[in-house]
C-alpha cells in the first residue's frame, strides 16, 4: 500500500510538470500582458473581483477583434500580496514571456518594482494609487489606475476645511492608516497639507496588518477627540474600525478612501456605517453609466453567482486602458511606445466608469475628480462631485 502511494507521487509530479511544459508556443500574433493578482492574500476579497474583471475585459476585447488585429493574452501570476513573489513574477514576465506591459496590483510590490520597470521600459498600470507613482520624472513607466491617494487625502482635508463653520478653533482631524506601504503612502503629504490649509492633525493611529481589534487605537484617538478621521487601510479593517468606534461611542466622523468603502461596506458594518463618508473613484454596481450594461452582462454570463462589486469595474477599466494604449502605439508596439500612448490620453472616456482620464508626460495622475459619498439608511448615496487642483507641488509625493 505504501509503495503504491509512493509511486503515485513521482507520477503525479511528472505529469504536472509535463503538462506545464507542454504549453504550446503561443500564437505569435498575441500581445502578452503581465497580470499580477492576489487571490489568497489579505486583499483577496478585492483581488478576486479585479482578476475576474481583467479576464472578462480581455475576452471582450478579443471577441471584438483584439487590438490592431492581434489578440491580447494575459499572463497571470497569483502572488498572495507577497512582494518577493511579485518581483519573481515580474522577472518572468519580462525575461521569459516578454510582456508588453504589466497590470500590477498592490502598493508594496509596485513601489518596489519602480527601478526595475524604469530600467526595462515596461509600462506598469497599477491597482496602487500611491502618490509616489505619479511623477514621470522619477517613475516614467508607472501609471496609477485611478485618483491617487495623496489627492484623496487633500480632498478630505479640503472638505473638512470648507464645511467647518466654527470660527473659535481649527477643525481637528486624525489619520487612521494601515501599517504597510499602501496605508502610509499619503500620510506625509497629508500632514504637510493639513498644516498648509490650517487643519489641526491631532492624532495618527496605525492599524497593524494582523489586526485583532482596534479598541486601544480608538480609545487613544478618543482622548484626542478629533472631529473627523481619514481612514486609509485595507478593506477588511474598515468594518472593524467602524464597529469598534460605534461601540466606544466616538463622535468622530469618518471619511474612507476609495479602496476602503464600496457597495459591501453597509452590509458588513451595518449600523456602524451610518453617517460614514467616503471617496469613490469608480462606479458602483448598477450605476447609470454607459459602460455598466456591458459589464453587468458579462458578469452575469460568466460569474452569475459571485459578488457584484466595484473592484470588478476596476479590473475592466485598467484592461480597457491598456488596450487603448496598445492600439494607439501602432502595429508594432514597444514598451516605450505604449508609455507614450498612455501619456497621450486626454479626457479619455472610460465608458463613464470613472471621470475621464488624462495622463501627460509631466503628470501621471489620471484624474483629479472623484465623488464624495455618504452611507445613509444602509446604502451608499451620492453627495457631490469633488475635485482638487492638479497642483504640481504634490506630484510624486
Partner 1 sequence: MTEQVVFLLQLIIAGVAVGAVYSLMALGFVLIYKASTVVNFGPGELVLFGAYVAWATILSMKLPLTVALPLTLVVAILLGLVIERGVLRPLIGEPIISVIMVTFGFASVVRGVLNMSWGSDTRPFPALFANEPFRLGPIPISPVHLWSFVTVMLLLFAFSLFFKFSLLGTAMRATADNQQVAQSLGVSVKGIFALSWCIATVVSALGGIILGSVRGGVDFSLADYGLKVFPVVILGGLDSVAGVLVGGVLIGVLENLSGGYLDPIFGGGVKEVAPFVVLVLILMIRPYGLFGRVDVERV
Partner 2 sequence: MQCGDFRVSYAADERIFETRLPVIGVVGLLAVLACVPYFAGTYWLDVLNRIGIAIIGAIGLNILIGFTGQISIGHAAFLAVGAYGTAILGTKAGLPFWLAIPLAAVLTSLFGLVFGVPSLRLKGLYLAIATLAAHFITTYGVIHWESMTNGVLGFNVTPPKVFGLAIDSDERVFYLIYALVVPAVFFAKNLFRTRVGRAFIAVRDRDVAASVIGVSLYRYKLLAFVISSFYAGVAGGLMAYHSRIVFPDAFSLLVAIDYLAMIIIGGLGSILGSIYGAVFMTLLPEVLKLSATSLTGVYPNAFGLIASARDIVFGLAIIFFLMYEPAGLARIWERLRSYWKLWPYAY
Residues that bind partner 2 (CB under 8 A): 2, 5-6, 9, 13, 16-17, 19-23, 39-40, 48, 51, 55, 75-78, 80, 82-84, 87-88, 91-92, 95-96, 108, 111-112, 115, 179-181, 184
| Enclosing H/E stretch for 58 | helix 44-63
Closest distance between partner 1 and the C-beta of residue 56, in Å?
17
Residue ranges in 252-281 that form contacts with partner 1 under rule CB under 8 A: 264, 267-272
**Binding pattern for the stretch 289-318 against partner 1, x by CB under 8 A and - elsewhere:** ------------------x-----------
**How, if at all, do strands 369-376 and 379-387 pair?**
antiparallel
Burial of 336 from C-beta contacts in 10 A (0-12 / 13-18 / 19+): middle
343 is an interface residue for partner 1 by CB under 8 A: no
Which residue, 234 or 280, is less far from partner 1 as judged by CB?
A: 234
Which residue, 136 or 315, is less far from partner 1 as judged by CB?
A: 315
Among 48, 154, 339, 365, binds partner 1 (CB under 8 A): 48
For the chain, the straight-line distance linking the first and the last C-alpha, in angstroms and rounded, comes to 63
Residue pair 255/228 in contact (Cβ under 8 Å)? The answer is yes
Among 188, 196, 213, 362, binds partner 1 (CB under 8 A): 213
Torsional sign, CA 58, 61, 64, 65: negative
Q: Enumerate residues 6+ apart whose C-beta is below 8 A from 332.
A: none
Instruction: Report the SS3 class of residue 122.
Output: coil
Residue pair 241/213 in contact (Cβ under 8 Å)? The answer is no
Partner from partner 2, partner 1, none binding residue 269, C-beta < 5-8 Å depending on class: partner 1
C-alpha cell at position 220:
487613544
# residues contacting partner 1 (CB under 8 A): 39
DSSP secondary structure of 273-311: GTT-EEEE-SPPTT-S-TTHHHHHHHHHHH-TTS---HH
Which residue, 184 or 224, is less far from partner 2 as judged by CB?
A: 184
Q: Enumerate residues 6+ apart whose C-beta is below 8 A from 297.
A: none
Which residue, 81 or 193, is less far from partner 1 as judged by CB?
A: 81
Among 91, 247, 301, 393, binds partner 1 (CB under 8 A): 247
Site residues for partner 1 per CB under 8 A: 39-40, 42, 44-45, 48, 179, 205-208, 210-213, 215-217, 219-220, 222-223, 235-236, 239-240, 243, 246-249, 264, 267-272, 307
Amino acid at each position: 500500500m505504501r509503495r503504491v502511494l509512493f509511486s503515485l507521487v513521482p507520477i503525479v509530479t511528472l505529469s504536472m510538470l509535463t503538462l506545464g511544459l507542454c504549453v504550446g508556443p503561443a500564437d505569435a500574433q498575441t500581445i502578452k500582458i503581465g497580470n499580477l493578482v492576489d487571490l489568497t492574500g489579505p486583499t483577496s476579497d478585492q483581488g478576486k473581483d479585479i482578476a475576474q474583471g481583467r479576464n472578462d475585459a480581455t475576452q471582450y476585447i478579443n471577441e471584438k477583434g483584439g487590438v490592431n488585429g492581434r489578440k491580447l493574452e494575459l499572463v497571470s501570476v497569483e502572488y498572495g500580496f507577497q512582494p518577493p513573489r511579485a518581483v519573481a513574477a515580474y522577472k518572468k514576465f519580462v525575461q521569459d514571456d516578454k510582456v508588453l506591459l504589466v497590470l500590477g496590483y498592490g502598493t508594496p510590490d509596485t513601489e518596489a518594482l519602480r527601478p526595475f520597470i524604469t530600467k526595462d521600459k515596461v509600462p506598469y498600470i497599477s491597482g496602487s494609487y500611491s502618490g509616489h507613482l505619479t511623477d514621470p520624472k522619477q517613475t516614467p513607466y508607472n501609471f496609477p489606475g485611478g485618483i491617487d491617494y495623496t489627492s484623496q487625502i487633500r480632498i478630505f482635508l479640503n472638505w473638512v476645511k470648507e464645511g467647518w463653520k466654527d470660527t473659535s478653533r481649527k477643525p481637528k482631524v486624525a489619520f487612521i492608516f494601515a501599517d504597510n506601504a499602501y496605508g502610509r503612502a499619503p500620510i506625509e503629504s497629508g500632514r504637510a497639507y493639513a498644516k498648509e490649509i490650517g487643519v489641526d492633525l491631532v492624532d495618527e493611529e496605525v492599524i497593524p496588518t494582523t489586526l485583532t481589534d482596534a479598541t486601544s487605537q480608538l480609545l487613544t484617538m478618543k482622548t484626542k477627540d478629533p472631529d473627523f478621521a481619514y481612514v486609509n487601510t485595507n478593506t477588511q479593517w474598515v468594518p472593524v474600525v467602524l464597529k469598534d468606534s460605534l461601540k466606544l461611542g466616538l463622535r468622530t466622523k469618518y471619511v474612507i478612501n476609495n479602496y476602503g468603502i464600496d457597495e459591501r461596506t453597509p452590509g458588513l458594518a451595518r449600523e456602524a456605517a451610518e453617517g460614514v463618508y467616503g471617496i469613490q473613484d469608480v462606479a458602483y454596481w448598477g450605476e447609470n453609466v454607459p459602460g455598466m450594461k456591458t459589464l453587468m452582462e458579462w458578469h452575469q454570463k460568466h460569474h452569475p453567482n459571485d459578488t457584484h462589486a466595484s473592484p470588478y469595474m476596476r479590473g475592466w477599466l485598467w484592461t480597457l486602458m491598456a488596450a487603448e494604449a496598445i492600439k494607439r502605439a501602432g502595429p508594432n508596439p514597444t514598451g516605450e511606445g505604449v508609455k507614450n500612448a498612455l501619456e497621450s490620453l486626454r479626457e479619455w472616456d472610460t465608458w463613464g466608469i470613472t471621470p475621464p482620464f488624462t495622463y501627460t508626460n509631466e503628470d501621471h495622475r489620471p484624474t483629479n475628480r472623484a465623488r464624495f459619498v455618504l452611507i445613509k439608511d444602509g446604502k451608499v448615496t451620492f453627495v457631490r462631485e469633488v475635485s482638487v487642483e492638479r497642483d504640481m507641488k504634490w506630484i510624486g509625493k
